[in-house]
Copies of this chain bind each other. A is one copy, B any other.
Amino acid sequence: MRVALLAARRLVVFLKNRPSFCETNHQVHHWCSKVTSELSKSFPSLPVMTDIEEILSPLRAEVQVQGDIVRQLKANKASDGEIKRAVTVLKAKKRALDEKVEIELRSKDDNFDRSKLEDLLKQKFFYDQSFSIYGGVQGLYDFGPTGCAIKANILSAWRQFFVLEEQLLEVDCSVLTPESVLKASGHVDRFTDYMVKDTVSGECFRVDHLIEAALEIKLAAKDTKPEEKVEINRILAQLDNYGAAEFSSIIEKYNIKSPNTKNDLTPPQQFNLMFSTLIGPTGQCRGYLRPETAQGIFVNFQRLLQFNQGRLPFGAAQIGPAFRNEISPRAGVIRVREFTMAEIEYFVDPNDKRHPKFSQYAELPLNLLTACDQMDGKSARKITLGEAVSQGVIANETLGYFMARIFLFLYMIGVDVKKFRFRQHMKNEMAHYACDCWDAECRTSYGWVECVGCADRSCYDLTQHTKATGARLVAERPLAAPVINPTVFLNLLVLKPGVSSLSLLSLEATRKLKTELEASGDILPRLFVSFTVDEIVPSVIEPSFGIGRIMYAILEHNFKIRENDQQRTFLSLPPVIAPYKCSVLPLSSHPDFAPFVPAQLTRVGISHRVDESGGSIGRRYARTDQIAIPYGITVDFDTVNQSPPSATLRERDTMKQIRLEDLPDLVSDLVNGVVSWTDALLNYPIFEQQESGK
């Protein structure tokens, strides 16, 4: 029996598209290899649009010419002012191109109707505005049973795909954070946006969004002259770089008013996006709700390094809520005040950023929009990970490895590859500490949305916390041979009064001591011969996932309408994240129908939802399709009257049905990817019935 069980386990059939996690990780591992190998043959790159390309080519050419000018200026070491002006023009041209691309893409994607999706999400309580019986609060959303289950499934998949497979050290740190920590990380001083207020109503607006909206209208107006349009495009491209003075003058020049009331606006002022509170009763300890989970990992660096027995590289991970007090939240769940993040901080030797598993994905093709290509006005293009790293497009193997993992994860949970790209940050948009940064972007009806950021943060954060606290946030690296080098760490006892062990001294203190001893003519120089351990501040590679945004992108990418019925919308989510795996639909509310199926499903661990309402079976299928349930069991009169009982099983996307006896086991196998629906159709009798019938 045991042998049979093991053999059966090995009889793994893959679902056509994506794996599930419930049974084992076996499938996932195979699936990753399979996807890598299949995609390397035929990659579904961003839609080829030869017709659109004709429209875009003049704009592309303009961007490229301007890109060349910028490069030439840099090569000639032109003045900063000259380069800055040229970059501004470049950005304006790039922006015009991007917009054209958006417009053309959107017309290609006509059949998506966001209001229909939003109706569905609200009606089936995927999520909705928080506290709406109290009038609601902007930027706060509650997830209902369906949305909450999808979110929990995404997080569970994430934990298995990253924490378990990459052996990450998962932590769970405090949300409340004292001011000193966020002062050191730079958030207290720099985590701000500019805002203006309506002078009468007091309504607040994020000034860049306000100007953008006002100038977009002007840009679209018929009576705006071509030279004005050029000027406006120049301003729009620059918005990120402006301060209070520039915003003020734009508001004045274009006579921008409060959008709804047409009242005047206050001068722009900086607004910190963190929620502030007081910790403890004294009123003396200011704290903030964390704006990201990362800092919790950095301040625990020493404990985590010790947990990893002092060795590099290692990664830590954290899933949890983060908070940003957006001035004027918008775009549904994409820009909100409270959201769930899943972050990885992977600590590596700054001199060796290779990754042992990189070769597994070297053949994996990705849609990359590089910084250079952006300067040249080009679109994202297919390039294998191996090429990207060897050509220096992606800075190092570890960064590239995580980009591959991010892509595979998103693909697995339902992101459409044709609406996905990695966009590299341009040098001037990158945070000053990062040496390379890529955003995993999904195309939605809101445009390209950053869903995951993947940055090499270098040693910035650890260094900042060391400066603020004096704590030695460093790792030790054994040296091959002892060296005489004042930049290495002293690992010896010295009998100088008051210093029992030099190994407890920082590098700086060691140097100071050395200088002192040398000055005093002491014997120390000889001791330096035996330095054997190097002290390094690790670099940090950070993949940072916005769970709400990912979920929204997946909902859009999987929102569908039945070909023959515009009213029948449904969600084709992969089983791994579907909120319920199976529906149970008894044809009658007679008590005889009750005992069938549900308890057995619970016993095999399959989440399910019973719909006992009196509607026609077709209407009930439509309802379960709307909440993305992949499989449905109908308990009919034959189920109740025949022995052994059988029932029908229907699959959501194909709408095909089969009839069989061992239902819970087959559903479990289907959901867990042990059996594919195609195989099930071959092995069991097809059941034919009109869905619209009673």
Q: State whether B279 touches A471 (Cβ < 8 A).
A: no
Which of B276, B302, B469 is close to A277, meaning CB atoms less than 8 Å apart?
B276
* C-alpha spacing A280/B296, complex, angstroms: 25
Q: Which residues of B contact A174 (CB under 8 A)?
A: 130-131, 137, 140-142, 338
Q: State whether A281 touches B277 (Cβ < 8 A).
A: no
Which of B1, B142, B609 is close to A7, meaning CB atoms less than 8 Å apart?
B1
Q: A491 on the interface (CB 8 Å rule)?
A: no
Q: In chain B, what residue has the closest Cβ to A607?
A: B164
Given A4-B4, A299-B134, A468-B134: A170 touches B142 (CB 8 Å cut-off): no
Q: State whether B204 touches A280 (Cβ < 8 A).
A: yes
Q: A332 on the interface (CB 8 Å rule)?
A: no
Q: State whether A279 touches B175 (Cβ < 8 A).
A: no
Q: A325 on the interface (CB 8 Å rule)?
A: yes
* C-alpha spacing A535/B310, complex, angstroms: 65
Given A164-B605, A177-B131, A284-B202: A144 touches B1 (CB 8 Å cut-off): no
Q: State whether B471 touches A133 (Cβ < 8 A).
A: yes
Q: State whether A4 touches B8 (Cβ < 8 A).
A: yes
* C-alpha spacing A388/B469, complex, angstroms: 58
Q: State whether B148 touches A281 (Cβ < 8 A).
A: no
Comparing A24-32, A95-103, A371-379, A556-564, the segment that makes contact with chain B is: A24-32
Q: Which residues of B contact A307 (CB under 8 A)?
A: 124-125, 144-145
Q: State whether B281 touches A133 (Cβ < 8 A).
A: no
* C-alpha spacing A173/B5, complex, angstroms: 43
Q: Which residues of B contact A170 (CB under 8 A)?
A: 145, 148-149, 152
Map CB proximity to B onto A105-137 as digits: 1 under 8 Å, 0 otherwise.
000000000000000000011001011111001
Q: A248 on the interface (CB 8 Å rule)?
A: no
* C-alpha spacing A299/B607, complex, angstroms: 26
Map CB proximity to B onto A10-27 as digits: 1 under 8 Å, 0 otherwise.
010000000001011110
Tell me the minimal C-beta distance from A674 to chain B in angstroms.
8
Given A6-B662, A281-B325: A465 touches B133 (CB 8 Å cut-off): yes
Q: Which residues of B contact A175 (CB under 8 A)?
A: 175, 321, 323, 338
Q: Which residues of B contact A503 (CB under 8 A)?
A: none
Q: State whether B309 touches A613 (Cβ < 8 A).
A: yes
Q: Which residues of B contact A603 (CB under 8 A)?
A: 24-26, 29
Considering only CB atoms and an 8 Å cut-off, how many residues of chain A contact the other chain? 106
Tell me the minimal C-beta distance from A9 to chain B in angstroms.
7
Q: State whether B176 touches A137 (Cβ < 8 A).
A: yes
Q: Which residues of B contact A143 (CB under 8 A)?
A: 171-173
Q: A616 on the interface (CB 8 Å rule)?
A: no
Q: State whether A327 touches B281 (Cβ < 8 A).
A: yes
Q: In chain B, what residue has the closest Cβ to A132?
A: B299
Q: State whether B279 touches A337 (Cβ < 8 A).
A: yes
Q: A169 on the interface (CB 8 Å rule)?
A: yes
Q: In chain B, what residue has the closest Cβ to A159?
A: B152
Q: State whether A144 touches B176 (Cβ < 8 A).
A: no
Q: In chain B, what residue has the closest Cβ to A287?
A: B137
Q: Which residues of B contact A25 (CB under 8 A)?
A: 602-605
Q: In chain B, what residue has the closest Cβ to A613?
A: B309
* C-alpha spacing A515/B6, complex, angstroms: 75
Q: State whether B133 touches A148 (Cβ < 8 A).
A: no
* C-alpha spacing A9/B603, complex, angstroms: 12
Q: Which residues of B contact A159 (CB under 8 A)?
A: 152
* C-alpha spacing A321/B340, complex, angstroms: 12
Tell me the minimal C-beta distance from A210 to chain B in angstroms.
13
Instruction: List the 6 closest pairs (A to B, CB-CB), nearest first.
Output: A5-B8, A4-B4, A143-B172, A145-B169, A133-B471, A130-B174
Q: 16 pairs across A/B with beta carbons < 8 Å?
A: A1-B7, A2-B8, A4-B4, A133-B469, A134-B469, A142-B174, A151-B172, A152-B170, A174-B338, A175-B175, A175-B321, A202-B284, A275-B278, A280-B325, A281-B325, A309-B611
